[in-house]
Structure 1
């Protein structure tokens, strides 16, 4: 099966910037209070005795995966960038990290107690989101929880025209309205329980949307 072109672009770009990205991305403890609270709420929902491991999809250098693990969550990381996975494994050798794509997860049906997609889906073209969200539904156990967070907007399609550090990037970003994201999650069979939209602050120019959902029993 031919890989979608957007995955190739994302992989190549994040492989190129991985070291700079790992240095610059915030530690979870440095996030704003709302983001920290949402991660803590998600951890409360998925830590044992809730059944099944928790996949941090689009884990990057593994900082949030490690944060979840420190909160008692049986978390592991998946990322499309082999270089990001190398960095994550080096930084957190006690945790499991694998290369993979959200469009075709190498995870069994109903295996997961939770999924975190943290700033991981906004590079996905809207026509591919139903495939991604269907994979979330397929791999979650009944009652399994999802937290999805990332940039939202009015449907903008952004193409970077600058370099990240010393490296050019070639991925695109798609800033969908929060209502559209919630609709697509619900169409995939997930029940959305919480939506939080944060307005831009601290130099940011983009809204952030966070969604909590679950797979019905």
Structure 2
């Protein structure tokens, strides 16, 4: 079971239309606002001799920070164009990037066989996946962890929809970065409050720690304050 053609084309189209400018994607926050605080929550539980895989890496901003904490960092994304952006931005060649469809269980297993048990970082992938694809995304996390890996997963909560609505209600409508997300048919914050923890549990993942947070965006609300989207984070082990 793969992702739908429509979903794949939406992401390919989005990344193909995105420039190499840092922060051009609305969620492409600097690592100081994302991977840095997130890894502080993960590291007490993680074996840092293992690699890390950044699922849905986009332009690789967070992957490059993770590469400073783990011996090997691999960013994977559904979109070929995203992987190209990530490779171009990684001027120091600190990470590796490749295309991966998380719903392709054979490809996910092949990655695990190649690198062994790994830590996983996944920021805001389940909430915008097609509903029928979400169980496979959660299962991919469990497959990659194996016995020794630990995951940090953070997903938008439905409260994010209210913030996005406010962001769309300025005199000129949504800002250019949010407008591009909507124009490409991407659907942020479409998972329900209980859906994410239930999907993680059904995939055989055990929650070691969790909490509330926000995911800072690279665009502002009409009043000039930064768009911060409510989210919930989980540190997970398989089995």
Q: What's the TM-score once normalised by structure 1's chain length?
A: 0.80
For residue 194 of structure 1, give the secondary structure of its aligned residue in structure 2. strand
For residue 123 of structure 1, give the secondary structure of its aligned residue in structure 2. coil
Q: Cα 1:21–1:101, aligned 2, differ >3 Å: closer, same or farther?
A: farther
Q: Deviations over 1:106-132 (max 9, x none)?
A: 343563321111122322022221111
Q: Tell me, which stretches of 5 or more residues in structure 2 are unaligned?
A: 217-224
Number of equivalenced pairs: 211
* Aligned equivalent of 2:94: 94
* Aligned equivalent of 2:63: 65
Deviating beyond 6 angstroms after TM superposition, the runs of 4 or more aligned structure 1 residues are 158-161
Q: Tell me, which stretches of 5 or more residues in structure 1 are unaligned?
A: none
Bigger fraction of residues in strand = 1
Q: Deviations over 1:150-179 (max 9, x none)?
A: 3111696x9999653895422122433443
Q: What's the TM-score once normalised by structure 2's chain length?
A: 0.73
Alignment RMSD: 3.2
* Aligned equivalent of 1:179: 194
For residue 143 of structure 1, give the secondary structure of its aligned residue in structure 2. coil
Q: Distance in 2 between matches of 1:138 and 1:81?
A: 21
Question: Following superposition of structure 1 onto structure 2, how do residues 1-217 of structure 1 map, counting pairs within 5 Å?
Answer: 3-4=3-4, 5-20=6-21, 22-23=23-24, 25-29=28-32, 31=33, 36-49=36-49, 52-92=50-90, 93-104=93-104, 106-107=107-108, 108=110, 109=112, 111-153=116-158, 163-164=176-177, 167=180, 168-198=183-213, 203-204=226-227, 206-216=229-239
Q: Cα 1:81–1:45, aligned 2, differ >3 Å: closer, same or farther?
A: same
